[in-house]
Amino acid sequence: MKKTVIIGSGHYLPEVKKKNTDFLQSNFFDENGKPYPNSNKDIIEKFYAITNIEERRYLRPDQNNSDMATLAAEKAIQDANIDPETLDYLICATNFGEVVHGNPRSNFMPSIASRVKNKLRIKNPNMVVYDMIFGCPGWVEAMIQADAFIKSGKAKRILVVGSETLSRVVDPNDRDSMIFADGAGAVVVEAADSDSPKGIISHNTLSYTYDEAYYLYNGPTYNPEKKSDDLYIKMKGRKIYEFALLNVPKAIQQTIEDAGLDITDISKILIHQANEKMDAAIIKRLYRLYKQKAPEGAMPMTIGKFGNSSVATVPTMLDLILKKQLGDHQLNEGDTIVMTSVGAGMHINAIVYRF
């Protein structure tokens, strides 16, 4: 039976570190264009208490999203020790495309995937490339599509990338801008014959749009003095928090049950790095569904140092763990993990994967 297994991984974290103290001189306004009565110091301290973000990574002005995606892809290809000409697909998860420094407008022509294939100098026209635009869950969803291609026999080897430059599409006058960051992660997956559960063994995707479609959206700056048609990331933080706590634990539970497993079979849960307080509450509720407490180390976190880089958070964390570069976290043969995300759309997805 064909299984979808990861044979190589890589990531790229930009060099520029943006610390919380760098926002002390920012001019923050609320959604009505009014300045906050409390000081930036108080705003930043409250922000840290909720998100646990101390710093985040920003891309250099001379680099673009496709450059970062290519660097992560090259590392994954090298780790897999394959000829890139043997790839059947390249799926690149992104939401804003190629955004140049100083201009927040997206550019999707050509797609990020096409740009990455060009930068990798892959000649094979049979290698099909396209972008996955699915909010923060985009990389997980791209993995689900890769699994479908492999299990249908349409592909044997696929490169799956998640790359985003959110620093270029945030409103500097919106305090929520402190959440977002840049980064890229990638894996190479391959078809493997196995009669036992291995690789991707179950997955689940949900799209809530009836009331929730605009919890994350593009909107104008909060600065009342800035006249511009440019649009930036905007979010209804409380709505997202409540939505995620209600729906993500149940989605993960369903995916675990679809795999024929119990929460005790799961070694780690790699959850999208959106907000540490929210992620911790999601995992606590998940284990509560099984009448258990989450064991120490079950939920690795990277948001404190790297921020929320959207589609890049899960593959970046995965690569760091596989390379033994994230504290004491490690993954061994036979370990089973969940990779899960929630974000704009509103979408939720999850994968159960066995090494």
Please report the sign of the dihedral spanned by the C-alpha atoms of residue 23, residue 15, residue 159, residue 263.
negative
Average pLDDT in the 195-218 region? 94
Per-residue pLDDT tens for 222-269? 998 888 889 999 999 999 999 999 999 999 999 999 999 999 999 999
Query: pLDDT confidence of 165, banded at 50, 70, 90?
Result: very high
Residues 87, 89: Cα–Cα separation, whole Å: 6
Given CATH 1.25.10.10, say whether it is the number of domain 199-354: no
Tokens linked to 269 = 């849960």
Would strands 89-93 and 128-132 be described as parallel, antiparallel, or unpaired? Answer: parallel
Q: Is CATH 3.40.50.2020 the right assignment for the domain spanning 2-193?
A: no
pTM for this model (two decimals): 0.94
3-class DSSP state of 26: coil
Domain with CATH 3.40.47.10 in the chain: 2-193, 199-354
Residue 257 has a pLDDT of 97
Instruction: Give the per-residue pLDDT at 185.
Output: 98
Q: pLDDT confidence of 194, banded at 50, 70, 90?
A: confident
pLDDT of residue 180: 97
Mean pLDDT of 116-126: 97
Alpha carbon distances (Å) from 274 to 8, 137, 198, 291, 341: 25, 11, 28, 25, 9
Higher pLDDT, 318 or 104: 318
Average pLDDT over residues 290-315: 95
Q: 58: pLDDT confidence band, cut at 50, 70 and 90?
A: very high
Q: Look at residue 195 and tell me whether its pLDDT is greater than 90.
A: no
> Residue 304 pLDDT > 90, yes or no?
yes
